[in-house]
Structure 1
């Protein structure tokens, strides 16, 4: 099967040319190994016992020739992290190590964080522009990198419409799942979620007397997708039918675990030193790694998003899909993505993209085929507050034509962003 290039490839090429060690992080099944194989010379697959024995016999990789060494699923042999860190301290050459893993270093196991030695690259499920990359559909033709430079040409059309976005939400961005028949795909997603509860939780060193409580909390979190709902409200929503409510400590454990295995992917509040809004909320905007997981946690299908049964989630999950695409594009150029919301809710910017030199692009996500003046009022306010930093304003929508409004706001179909 031909490898489909990902946004992460661009980021890896940039990083491996400059630094000795890069760790590609992300949830299971996101495509880390397949992407890392494109950039490595020698591979050790540490989910295999024989491979673990090889590395255990040569933990410093002294017998490995030149090139990029890939310890895949390094967390299966945690000392590898420190071995790589020490090699970096001994001046390993650029591009020497590429680690992939489905968990962050376990607290309390004496594993060094790697700060300043091992750079981390977050890999997420496929963005919209990665899923529709085949064929001439106008996909990925408006680049986020151009928007960050200011004055990008905004034009063109796509034939991707609402039905396609709904399908993209339901089919998942996990490469091994997205191409499956609908019934098989549903079983894969349900099994993925069940594995988190039954196996990944205990494997990560956590214990829970009631695994079903974790599922209820995940369901509450999924229902809050694209919102800043307080964790106390999520706790209330986790209460079971018999009135039993888990403790705050229990749900804090859930958050810690799900963050460690990259299933929670919240959008942080914009916290720039240039942000004068003391009244801005610091609450993250809730997102799961893949909107398809949120859909399945609610027991819904893609078809439900177009009916009364599930239409309340169509807008939030469209924003989840847009957030996934913006983050994938931003990661390739080391830009950050956050959100801005005043405490009283007067103003909200769905996504704030910040470049390395502080340039800002404000993004509004709109589930509609048309954009009106009221849809851009928060963006115009953002530019008024930061006239020297905001280089562009964008509405990502479900229409088919890219254009620039007279007020300067770029209106871009989600599928055309790349």
Structure 2
């Protein structure tokens, strides 16, 4: 099977050059193990059925034995034996912190109560997400997100997308799963459904050996999908789940949501609350979302043909595809996604924050008719930041470094007011 290069390749290489160990986290089936194997010199697979019991027994009695092997040594699905975390940390300490010794991969977060030390300074954490359109060879890659931040004079005019709206729907249904790219188009559409089935039937309970109801998990994911890219309240989601024959308390629903977050299935987007309005005017609830748009589509039980008849619904899914790709494009220079919305209807669908303090205000608009409205929203938020800085000279806010409308259209251009209009399928890191 051909290995398609990932943006995470360079990030992993850099971190192995600086830290004794690197942890790669993210949803299952995103290619974490395959990416790690490109740079590992030996591999320990804890879920290998032929050696699983032996490996787990060794991890419990003398975990250091499992660390022996040519370095960098990959420890795949390390969360099955959490004591290996401390074993890796101690091994790195004993070596004097020599970089590039171990790579750990995991598809869910671990109860930190089972770990004695956080590993700060020894074990670097990085996240891998499902493939972006650039990584799956669906984006032309003519517009670099890094260049948009670094170069104010970056010329994007005329960059062209390879995908029209039906194409975008198709790649959203397929998702960013590497395995799907090796299949026929018909077969690739089944991957996300199988992913949802696996999460609901197996992972929801196996993560902590606590039996949970697959039907409840499925209904919760369906309700989340119906509310994707919205600020749906927990009470509304609970009411949706229990509208039929399911009885569920808020505490139990919160437990299921927590598990789906630990599995990196649910990926809500936090609110950005700058002091440009009163606290009561700015919405602070999380925006509902998944790590890949195909999860929402599969959970809703729709297909590409159905979404072509429901473009309003696909508009919400398109926003999630934008969020997925933006996360994938910025791991090397830090990122955090949020959104802005206030009671007056002013919003930025996404706010991309970099670790150095720079940030972009972003609207996600599937159709060209919505571009003007999106651009005006972004300019108004920037104006409010500027007005704040005029009146609050002691507490200055950074002005946005980039205003961008991501579209499902064909061509990229810079508006006379400076707002960048860029098709999603033109972007790369």
TM-superposed CA distance for 1:281, in Å, is 2.2
Q: How does 1:265-284 map to 2 (within 5 A)?
A: 265-270=267-272, 278=279, 279-284=281-286
Structure 2 residue runs of 5 or longer lacking an equivalent are 387-397
Q: Is the 8 A contact 2:72 2:103 kept in 1?
A: yes
Query: Match of 1:126?
Result: 131
Matched, 1:367 2:377: no
Query: Match of 2:109?
Result: 104
Q: Is the 8 A contact 2:134 2:140 kept in 1?
A: yes
Query: Match of 1:403?
Result: 413
Query: Match of 1:212?
Result: 215
Q: Is the 8 A contact 1:288 1:294 kept in 2?
A: yes
Cα 1:341–1:117 change in 2 (3 A) is farther
Query: Match of 1:378?
Result: 377
Q: How does 1:14-413 map to 2 (within 5 A)?
A: 14-48=14-48, 49-50=50-51, 53=54, 56=59, 59-60=63-64, 64=68, 67-90=71-94, 91-106=96-111, 108-110=113-115, 112-132=117-137, 139-151=140-152, 152-155=154-157, 156-205=159-208, 207-208=210-211, 210-242=213-245, 244-270=246-272, 278=279, 279-307=281-309, 310-342=310-342, 344-369=343-368, 372-386=371-385, 388-413=398-423
Cα 1:145–1:61 change in 2 (3 A) is farther
Q: Give the TM-score, by structure 2 length.
A: 0.88
Q: Is the 8 A contact 1:170 1:302 kept in 2?
A: yes
TM-superposed CA distance for 1:107, in Å, is 5.4
Q: Is the 8 A contact 1:172 1:178 kept in 2?
A: no
Q: Is the 8 A contact 1:105 1:113 kept in 2?
A: no
SS of the aligned residue for 1:164 comes to helix
Q: Give the TM-score, by structure 1 length.
A: 0.90
Cα 1:414–1:104 change in 2 (3 A) is same
SS of the aligned residue for 1:128 comes to coil
Q: Is the 8 A contact 2:142 2:160 kept in 1?
A: no
SS of the aligned residue for 1:358 comes to coil
Cα 1:403–1:28 change in 2 (3 A) is same
Cα distance between partner residues in 1 of 2:46 and 2:73: 13
TM-superposed CA distance for 1:269, in Å, is 1.8
Cα distance between partner residues in 2 of 1:112 and 1:338: 30
Cα 1:253–1:345 change in 2 (3 A) is farther
Query: Match of 2:392?
Result: none
Q: Deviations over 1:298-341 (max 9, x none)?
A: 1100111111xx43421001111111111111223212222122
Q: Deviations over 1:203-250 (max 9, x none)?
A: 1125456431221111001111111111111111101424x4310011
Deviates more, 1:231-240 or 1:278-287: 278-287
Cα distance between partner residues in 2 of 1:345 and 1:236: 27
TM-superposed CA distance for 1:384, in Å, is 1.9
TM-superposed CA distance for 1:113, in Å, is 4.1
Cα 1:369–1:411 change in 2 (3 A) is same
Cα 1:173–1:17 change in 2 (3 A) is same
RMSD of aligned Cα (Å): 2.4
Cα 1:277–1:40 change in 2 (3 A) is farther
Cα distance between partner residues in 1 of 2:277 and 2:41: 48
Q: Deviations over 1:16-75 (max 9, x none)?
A: 222222211111111111111112222111111527746637623597356312101111
Q: Deviations over 1:165-220 (max 9, x none)?
A: 11111112111124434553444433322221221122112545643122111100
TM-superposed CA distance for 1:392, in Å, is 1.4
Deviates more, 1:138-147 or 1:94-103: 138-147
Q: Is the 8 A contact 2:82 2:115 kept in 1?
A: no
Cα distance between partner residues in 1 of 2:72 and 2:119: 18
Equivalenced residues, count: 409
Cα distance between partner residues in 2 of 1:45 and 1:354: 35
Q: Deviations over 1:75-130 (max 9, x none)?
A: 12221112122234443312222110111113543464444542221111111111
